[in-house]
């Protein structure tokens, strides 16, 4: 379960050295449950740690991995802003969650590591998200060969939004600004952005117009209330 709160919103600390397990998936599910129950605010993860030596030992089976990936996808699609503070080596479950967040702050010593399993990199959805967010050319060396990404490189490539010696404090400052945003509206914009990566203009036009209509209706309602 979430072990802390940030400005009244649930927080989960995730150690990337942990193996995927039902307990880890349960922790993330608990964070999602708490965030959805609150209905406002945001959900935050503090992530650090990577499998020892870059190698990941998976004692579970594909069912365990499937449940974890579904939990990460649920977190990624929450109807609230999601925030991450990352420090040190960050791989495994820690990297999964960092790449799924809306706003990301890192410490200067951050290194993003795609874990190695057997004789190749772990083929989980972190590799998918890296390609989606960086493009194939920029992600190739990390996805294929496990080349680490430093904090400076992550900032230059927009994988993180800020590098700070105190990422927790920087995240709290950003969280105060996010309180002005509507969680459901942010979720709609996030989905439109996801879809823009693969949809044609013609297919995307309908969802965008629907979102515009929703925004206009909300504005009219607000004007009527204040009139």
CATH number for the domain that contains residue 110? 3.90.226.10
Mean pLDDT of all residues in 119-140: 94
In this predicted model, which residue has the larger pLDDT, 160 or 174? 160
Residue with token string 């995927």: 20
- Give pLDDT, residue 145: 95
Please indicate, yes or no, whether residues 103 and 214 belong to a single structural domain of this protein. Answer: no
Label each residue of the chain as H, E or C. Answer: CCCEEECCEEEEEEECCCCCCHHHHHHHHHHHHHHHHHCCCCEEEEEEECCHHHECCCCCCHHHHHHHHHHHHHHHCCCCCEEEEEEEEECHHHHHHHHCCCEEEECCCCEECCCEECCEECCCHHHHHHHHHHCHHHHHHHHHHCCCEEHHHHHHCCCCCEECCCHHHHHHHHHHHHCCCCHHHHHHHHHHHHHHCCCCHHHHHHHHHHHHHHHHHHHHHHHHHHC
Asked if pLDDT for residue 140 goes beyond 90, the answer is yes
Please indicate, yes or no, whether residues 73 and 40 belong to a single structural domain of this protein. Answer: yes
User: Which one of 139, 154, 178 terminates a domain?
Assistant: 178
Q: How far apart, in Å, do the first and last CA atoms of the chain sit?
A: 44
Please indicate, yes or no, whether residues 109 and 43 belong to a single structural domain of this protein. Answer: yes
Please indicate, yes or no, whether residues 94 and 151 belong to a single structural domain of this protein. Answer: yes
Reported as a single tens digit per residue, the pLDDT across 58-97 is: 556 899 999 999 999 999 999 999 999 999 999 999 999 9
Confidence of residue 227 (pLDDT cuts 50, 70, 90): low
Confidence of residue 226 (pLDDT cuts 50, 70, 90): low
Please indicate, yes or no, whether residues 205 and 94 belong to a single structural domain of this protein. Answer: no
Reported as a single tens digit per residue, the pLDDT across 182-222 is: 778 888 998 999 899 889 999 999 999 999 998 899 887 76
Reported as a single tens digit per residue, the pLDDT across 145-165 is: 999 999 999 999 999 999 999
Residue among 86, 82, 76, 94 nearest 20 (CA): 94
In total, how many domains does the chain have? 2
Q: What is the pTM of this model?
A: 0.88
- Give pLDDT, residue 1: 42
Please indicate, yes or no, whether residues 18 and 90 belong to a single structural domain of this protein. Answer: yes
- Give pLDDT, residue 13: 96
- Give pLDDT, residue 223: 66
Please indicate, yes or no, whether residues 202 and 124 belong to a single structural domain of this protein. Answer: no
In this predicted model, which residue has the larger pLDDT, 215 or 98? 98
- Give pLDDT, residue 184: 82
Please indicate, yes or no, whether residues 129 and 200 belong to a single structural domain of this protein. Answer: no
Asked if pLDDT for residue 3 goes beyond 60, the answer is no
- Give pLDDT, residue 182: 73
Reported as a single tens digit per residue, the pLDDT across 6-49 is: 667 899 999 999 989 999 999 999 999 999 998 778 899 999 99
């Amino acid at each position: 379960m979430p072990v802390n709160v940030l400005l009244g919103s649930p927080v989960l600390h995730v150690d990337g050295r942990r193996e995927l397990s039902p307990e880890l998936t349960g922790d993330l599910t608990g964070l999602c449950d708490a965030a959805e129950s609150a209905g406002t605010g945001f959900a935050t993860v503090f992530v650090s740690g990577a499998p020892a030596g870059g190698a990941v030992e998976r004692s579970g089976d594909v069912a365990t991995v499937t449940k974890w990936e579904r939990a990460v996808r649920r977190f990624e699609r929450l109807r609230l802003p999601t925030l991450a503070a990352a420090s040190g080596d960050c791989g495994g479950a820690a990297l999964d969650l960092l790449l799924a967040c809306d706003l990301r702050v890192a410490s200067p010593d951050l290194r993003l590591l795609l874990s190695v399993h057997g004789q190749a990199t772990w083929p989980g959805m972190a590799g998918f998200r890296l390609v989606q967010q960086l493009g194939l050319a920029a992600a190739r060396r990390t996805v294929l060969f496990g080349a680490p990404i430093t904090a400076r490189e992550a900032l230059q490539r927009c994988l993180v939004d800020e590098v700070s010696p105190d990422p927790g404090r920087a995240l709290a400052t950003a969280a105060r600004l996010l309180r002005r945003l509507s969680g459901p509206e942010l979720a709609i914009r996030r989905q439109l952005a996801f879809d823009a990566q693969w949809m044609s203009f013609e297919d995307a036009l309908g969802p965008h117009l629907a979102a515009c209509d929703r925004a206009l209706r909300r504005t009219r309602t607000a004007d009527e209330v204040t009139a």
